[in-house]
Amino acid sequence: MKLVKWSAAGAFMIVLSACSNSDTGSSAQGDSEDWKPDRSIEFVAPAGAGGGWDTTARMLSKVIEEEGLADQSFGVVNKPGGGGAVGWAYINNRNDPHNIFVASPPLLFIPLNGQSEYGYEDFTPLANLIADYGAFAVREDAKWDTLDELFEDMRDDPASVSIIGASAPGSMDHMQFVTFADAAGVDITKIKYVSDQEGGALTAVLNGSVEVLSSDMSEAAEQARAGKLKILATTAPERLEGDFLENIPTGMEQGIDAQFVIWRGIFGPGDMSESEISYYEDLFREASESEAFDEIRVSMGWDEEFMGHEEFKSFLDEQNLEIEELINDLGLGQ
């Protein structure tokens, strides 16, 4: 199975602690009764306002509130820093089922890179909600018209082309490009990746400082529509829907057996009872199935990809093993 390809639930079951004994608010009543929050939920986006985590949390909270799906409010709080590590440490220290957070692949990447002491196994996966996708783009006047043409040059000289993204080395933008390059037979240890976490990646491609942008689809598509960028491929397994997006080929169409899904799911602290997990899993399933959230997915270009607690946990276990192997190949592991 290729990196971040969706998988079915594993054959094993995850048995969790019957209840939490935290004095910060976790349930002590056990699983003989149904747990419900007794105060408002603090929904943490472990990044600044406006990014994918923040947008997902706010849109989900909006649906829950406007559809009357919960008795308590879901207030979004931003905890930026460390690529998510600051927010993860906050949740771990609180250890309270009234504190949850949204996450995506960096929850796997960052700990494997040694940049956070907390990883996905320290938390409780409650549900995955959506699938988003990335893109590889170049200036409109670049010599490459397909991703395969780009990789043909890089197979001969991997360092001859510079790649830029908004994430740190070993994190999302870097790893989605590495995933495809590896599948295309490029020596990934020699790839020249530039990390620009200050918002200058797009400008660097447009002014010719670097050749290739690895980003999420929304950023690349906006500039491609304006005629400034040319998108060589999307990381999706199939072409995306939409008047513009449907014209962008996948890497798989070009003979590159890879895909990269930017999953976004919700997690709670590690010490959660089965009844606490069930409450959130049922709530997020209901939100995901609502027309209101479907409209948001369509407007954002997100795919529906709901996974409950056990399926999500199995998926993460599998992905972590594959990502760890690739990061070690790059020499970025702990």
User: pLDDT digit string (tens) for 94-114?
Assistant: 999 999 999 999 999 999 988
CATH number of the domain enclosing 204: 3.40.190.10
- Please give the tally of structural domains in the chain: 2
Q: Is the pLDDT of residue 5 over 60?
A: no
Q: What is the mean pLDDT of residues 216-227?
A: 88
Whole-angstrom distance, CA of residue 82 vs CA of residue 272:
25
Question: How confident is the prediction for the chain on average, in pLDDT?
Answer: 88
Q: Which residues pair with 269 in a beta bridge?
A: 123
Same domain, 124 and 266: yes
**Domain for residue 34, yes or no?**
no
In 3D space, the residue among 76, 128, 135 whose CA is nearest the CA of residue 104 turns out to be 128
Question: Any idea which of 130-134, 191-195, 330-334 has the lowest mean pLDDT?
Answer: 330-334
Residues 298 and 189 reside in one and the same domain: no
Of the candidates 198, 196, 206, 149, the residue with the CA atom closest to the CA atom of residue 174: 196
CATH at residue 77: 3.40.190.150
Residue range 251-296, pLDDT digits in tens: 999 999 999 999 999 999 999 999 999 999 999 999 999 999 999 9
Domain assignment present for residue 284? The answer is yes
Tell which wins on pLDDT, 244 or 87: 87
> In angstroms, what CA-CA distances link 5 with 33, 198, 281?
37, 29, 22
In a shared domain, residues 126 and 140: no
**pLDDT at residue 61, rounded to an integer:** 98
| Maximum C-alpha span of the chain | 65
Measured CA to CA, the distance from residue 285 to residue 298 in angstroms comes to 17
Residue 227 belongs to domain spanning: 133-254
10 inside domain: no
pLDDT over 70 at 17, yes or no: no
Residue 334: the pLDDT is 61
Residue 326 pLDDT:
85
HSE-up of residue 296 (Cα within 13 Å, Cβ side): 20
CA distance 151 to 183: 10
- pLDDT of the residue at 48: 87
| Residue 13 pLDDT greater than 60, yes or no | no
Report the predicted TM-score, pTM, of the whole model to 2 decimal places. 0.80
Least confident of 30-34, 222-226, 319-323: 30-34
126 with 266, same domain: the answer is yes
Is residue 146 predicted with pLDDT exceeding 90? yes
Position 281 scores a pLDDT of: 98
**203 plus 163 within the same structural domain:** yes
User: Is residue 21 scored above 50 in pLDDT?
Assistant: no
108 token code pair: 């796997």
Element (H, E) at 237: none
- The model's pLDDT over 233-257, given as tens digits with 9 standing for 90+, comes to 999 999 988 788 899 999 999 999 9
The string of pLDDT tens digits covering residues 158-174 is 999 999 998 888 888 99
